[in-house]
């Protein structure tokens, strides 16, 4: 059985190339649709305004980017960046059905986007930071891309402890992976728990964000501590 070593960029990219066709369906199924609420909480922090130019790093199949593109109308735009082509193809198909949205897609590395400094009014990374080889470098690039005063929202699983950690592990091992097994991709979802074990805690993320140059930093647990939202001001 293949395994995807957390921190190996090629393996992580390949994982998301392979699960792209099932990704959204399994997120809805496995979280009972609650991931949409958690993403709305990330958007609420960003306070998107008409005319703003926003960035969705590790955008995947583009659900967040498409919502943001609606919120910055008229005059604004959203750029979604992802390392994997398959999720971007899903995102482009979804965007084609909404031609009024100013949204574009770029295959690239969130650790080195090549975009101009201070070129974005706001940015989101949803369930992406944990998949980067070096989350600290990811936060540095995020800060570089934002104009001073711009907001960023970093949504991901929360590295918890005690009963919450036990529930998280139980849910991932006993529900998530067996469900993924039915779609022939159990090892892809087994990676989730492995990647979480090496993910910085909320307070460690706060330290990394301050070191990256963010002026305001707050890590907020969501869903009873199962998820976490890093609220940042550049
Ligand atoms: C949107 C969500 C996860 C995105 C996601 C992130 C990754 O890094 C992956 C890596 C490998 C495969 C898939 C993913 C991936 O989908 C969160 C919702 C989906 C989760 C799979 C469900 C797990 C949620 C909590 C652990 C438990 C929620 C319990 C609640 C009662 C629903
Ligand atoms: C769990 S998905 C999150 C997708 C979307 N943000 C969401 O909330 O559903 C993680 C995404 O990060 C992308 N990714 C992983 N490493 C990356 C990197 N170094 N640069 C850009 N994207 C990356 C993967 O290809 C994948 O599409």
Report the relative pairing of strands 227-233 and 216-222 from DSSP bridges.
Answer: antiparallel
Above pLDDT 70, what percent of the chain? 99
Domain-located, residue 34: yes
pLDDT at site 6: 75
Domain-located, residue 3: no
Query: Which residues are near ligand 2 (CB < 6 Å)?
Result: 9, 12-13, 16, 58-60, 64, 81-84, 87, 109-111, 126-128, 131-132
Above pLDDT 90, what percent of the chain? 97
Report the distance separating Cα 152 and Cα 140, nearest Å.
12
Domain-located, residue 169: yes
Domain-located, residue 17: yes
pLDDT in tens, 102-144: 999 999 999 999 999 999 999 999 999 999 999 999 999 999 9
3-state secondary structure (DSSP) of residue 64:
helix
**Residue 5 — very low, low, confident or very high, per pLDDT cuts 50/70/90?**
confident
CATH of the domain at 190: 3.40.50.150
Question: Is 80 exceeded by the pLDDT of residue 157?
Answer: yes
Instruction: Count the Cβ atoms, other than its own, within 10 Å of residue 39.
Output: 20
Instruction: Name the residue at shortest CA distance from atom 32 of ligand 1.
Output: 31
SS3 helix, strand, coil % of the chain, rounded to 5? 50, 20, 30
3-state secondary structure (DSSP) of residue 210:
helix
Ligand nearest to the backbone CA of 142: 2
Instruction: Name the residue at shortest CA distance from atom 8 of ligand 2.
Output: 126
Residue among 21, 27, 164 whose CB has most ligand 1 atoms within 8 A, to mutate = 27
Residues 6+ apart with CB under 8 A from 134: 111
Instruction: Count the Cβ atoms, other than its own, within 10 Å of residue 9.
Output: 14
pLDDT at site 1: 47
Domain-located, residue 194: yes
Give the position, in ligand 2's atom list, of the atom nearest the Cα of 138: 19
Total domains, the chain: 1
232 to 31, 35, 78, 229: CA distances (angstroms) = 25, 20, 19, 9
Report the relative pairing of strands 120-126 and 146-157 from DSSP bridges.
Answer: parallel
State mean pLDDT over 161-187. 96
CA 195 to ligand 2 center in whole angstroms = 13
pLDDT at site 2: 58
pLDDT at site 124: 98
Question: Is 90 exceeded by the pLDDT of residue 145?
Answer: yes
Which residue range(s) make up the domain with 125?
A: 9-233
Domain-located, residue 23: yes
CA 171 to ligand 1 center in whole angstroms = 10
Domain-located, residue 121: yes
Q: Name the β-bridge partners of 112.
A: 109
How far is C-alpha 158 from the geometric centre of its chain's CA atoms? Answer: 13
Please state the pTM of the whole predicted model: 0.97
Residue among 4, 8, 16 whose CB has most ligand 2 atoms within 8 A, to mutate = 16
Q: What is the ipTM of this complex?
A: 0.98
Domain-located, residue 66: yes
Question: Is 60 exceeded by the pLDDT of residue 209?
Answer: yes
Report the distance separating Cα 46 and Cα 223, nearest Å.
19
């Amino acid at each position: 059985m293949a395994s995807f070593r957390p921190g190996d960029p090629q393996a992580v990219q390949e994982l998301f190339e392979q699960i792209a066709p099932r990704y959204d369906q399994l997120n809805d199924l496995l979280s009972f649709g609650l991931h949409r609420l958690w993403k709305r909480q990330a958007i609420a922090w960003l306070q998107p305004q008409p005319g703003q130019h926003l960035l969705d790093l590790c955008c995947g199949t583009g659900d967040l980017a498409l919502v943001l593109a609606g919120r910055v109308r008229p005059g604004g735009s959203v750029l979604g960046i992802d390392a994997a082509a398959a999720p971007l193809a899903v995102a482009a198909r979804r965007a084609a059905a909404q031609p009024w949205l100013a949204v574009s897609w770029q295959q690239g590395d969130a650790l080195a986007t090549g975009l101009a400094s201070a070129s974005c009014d706001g940015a989101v990374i949803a369930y992406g930071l944990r998949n980067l080889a070096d989350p600290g470098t990811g936060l540095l690039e995020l800060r570089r891309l934002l104009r001073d005063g711009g907001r960023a929202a970093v949504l991901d699983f929360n590295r918890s402890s005690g009963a919450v950690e036990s529930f998280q592990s139980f849910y991932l091992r006993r529900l998530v992976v067996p469900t993924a097994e039915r779609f022939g991709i159990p090892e892809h979802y087994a990676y989730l728990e492995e990647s979480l074990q090496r993910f910085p805690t909320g307070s460690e993320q706060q330290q990394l964000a301050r070191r990256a140059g963010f002026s305001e930093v707050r890590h907020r647990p969501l869903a009873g501590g199962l998820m976490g939202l890093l609220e940042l001001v550049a």
